[in-house]
Amino acid sequence: MTPELFPALITGAALFGIGIYGALSQTNLVMLLMGVELILAGAMVNLVAFWHHLHPDTPAGQMFVLIVMTVMAVEMAVGFGVAIARFRAIGSVEMEEAAELKG
């Protein structure tokens, strides 16, 4: 039980939860990406919180956050690339209409 971490960790959890909700519930690819962004954001908050409260002297923690940011950027780039391709191909980025992409 370490109350000092609560504000950050609970925020992270909330963002994660919202992100999950968004990623699952949204029918539009772009909105879905937003959900994913929120999930990653939640993760970042936790990382920084742990770094700050537990291992402030090891920059590896911050390093990790940088990598997560990179992941966010990659995810957006690829996501939008796919979105444009889908939109051009079938004129829709709706999940319901992406059934043929099912494995």
Q: Of residues 43-82, which lie at the interface with another protein (CB under 8 A)?
A: 44-45, 48-57, 59-60, 62-63, 65-67, 69-70, 72-74, 76-78, 80-82
Examine residue 15 and tell whether it contacts another protein (CB under 8 A). Answer: yes
Examine residue 100 and tell whether it contacts another protein (CB under 8 A). Answer: no
Whether residue 93 contacts residue 87, with contact meaning beta carbons closer than 8 Å, is answered with yes
Q: Which residues contact 62 (CB under 8 A, 6 or more apart)?
A: 48, 51
Examine residue 34 and tell whether it contacts another protein (CB under 8 A). Answer: yes
Examine residue 36 and tell whether it contacts another protein (CB under 8 A). Answer: no
2: alpha, beta or left, given left = phi > 0 and alpha = psi -120 to 50? Answer: beta
